[in-house]
Structure 1
């Protein structure tokens, strides 16, 4: 519904611009037509901007909607100037309109590129930190289900150590982390759970030491 209303609003704006362009009796010079066509492009371009969504660059501080709106407003102002002063040279209309479009496009592409890179890095970081959270959750579930008080306490202690472990993972830690996961999976059916817990703690301590060395 919001998109439909937005598209309707753009259509109304295009009609209003056209009505004002041709209803007000001024000379229709080449500079007028250039400004008019660029204005219609700016209006239609908002559909693409809205399709991108309100993405914001943490580097530039601009959002795509802000850039799109600023571009449209600037182009409307330029059109009003060339409409009011149709004797302005054609080359000035071409240069001004192209500059506005070019600057808006460059900023828009910069916002998109910066935000895409930020999202890629954030997703990569999220994947790396999910490992320690997942194994901590598994141990907490085992602790909740454990009936032996001593084993439950050991499991809770292990979960606490995991909570304070370095959350970042890396390829260099993959083998060691696989060993930890394997021991956790074997923990439920282990003949000596406390010994297995201590083995996991040793592997976890080794992982944390490696994390420090990799920084």
Structure 2
């Protein structure tokens, strides 16, 4: 059990103990309404741990923790609402003669159902956000890789005659639209092949061929960027 889970259990236990002491010290009438409201409160407290686990159980980095917060927030909002409802029911059960127990049961069930629905919906929304981010990350991998490779080629180049062209190429990658799509696949395949050829010619010191390939690459990069603009 992780330190975070132990801390969560400790907080839940403290809340449960304090609430129980308070409600039994105050002379509420211990009828059906009291026990329904008290049981609902105990359930709300107990459910905080699974909600906490759902929110942060698989969180490995800061982004995962941030995305888990809305799920956790549903849990403590549920606990807060149920606590207020329980106190109101304690008072009504003690002051209103023959207060219907079924009203207490319905109120507590509605609060619980709403909390469960919100938790599920929030967790689904978090999963969708993570999926979208994963797709976006994959869709930007090509240009990010080319930015790194082009800058590395600039750093490795020892031929002053093509330095300016390599710098221009690196800048073009830097300011290219990073998001790939099915429409840019053909262009990116050409870019990948041409850049491989460029690396080989630069390393071999073939200045004239390097210039020709740089020109071709610039043309294909411009074509790809135009495709990106048209598809937005």
Q: TM-score over 0.5 for the alignment?
A: yes
The answer for the alignment partner of 1:210 in structure 2 is 227
The answer for the alignment partner of 2:81 in structure 1 is 74
2:33 paired with 1:31:
yes
Change (3 A) 1:21 1:68: same
Runs of at least 5 residues in structure 2 that lack an aligned partner in the other structure: 57-64
Alignment of 1:6-25 (within 5 A): 6-25=8-27
2:209 paired with 1:198:
no
The answer for the alignment partner of 1:40 in structure 2 is 42
- TM-score under structure 2 length normalisation: 0.81
The answer for the alignment partner of 1:5 in structure 2 is 7
The answer for the alignment partner of 1:117 in structure 2 is 128
The answer for the alignment partner of 1:165 in structure 2 is 176
Deviates more, 1:19-28 or 1:89-98: 19-28
Runs of at least 5 residues in structure 1 that lack an aligned partner in the other structure: none
The answer for the alignment partner of 1:83 in structure 2 is 90
| CA deviation after TM superposition for structure 1 residue 152, in Å | 1.8
The answer for the alignment partner of 2:147 in structure 1 is 136
Deviates more, 1:36-45 or 1:74-83: 74-83
Give the superposed CA RMSD.
2.2
| CA deviation after TM superposition for structure 1 residue 88, in Å | 2.4
| CA deviation after TM superposition for structure 1 residue 56, in Å | 5.3
| CA deviation after TM superposition for structure 1 residue 96, in Å | 0.9
| CA deviation after TM superposition for structure 1 residue 39, in Å | 0.9
Change (3 A) 1:79 1:130: same
The answer for the alignment partner of 1:174 in structure 2 is 185
Q: Of residues 134, 153, 163 in structure 1, which corresponds to 2:164?
A: 153
Q: Is the 8 A contact 1:49 1:64 kept in 2?
A: yes
1:41-84 deviations in Å (ceiling 9; x for gaps): 11011112222135559xxxx82233221211111122222333
Cα distance in structure 2, aligned partners of 1:201 and 1:72? 60
Change (3 A) 1:5 1:212: closer
**Matched length:** 211
Partner secondary structure for residue 188 of structure 1 = helix
Cα distance in structure 1, aligned partners of 2:34 and 2:182? 61
Cα distance in structure 2, aligned partners of 1:186 and 1:35? 74
Cα distance in structure 2, aligned partners of 1:117 and 1:131? 23
Cα distance in structure 1, aligned partners of 2:103 and 2:83? 16
| CA deviation after TM superposition for structure 1 residue 24, in Å | 4.3
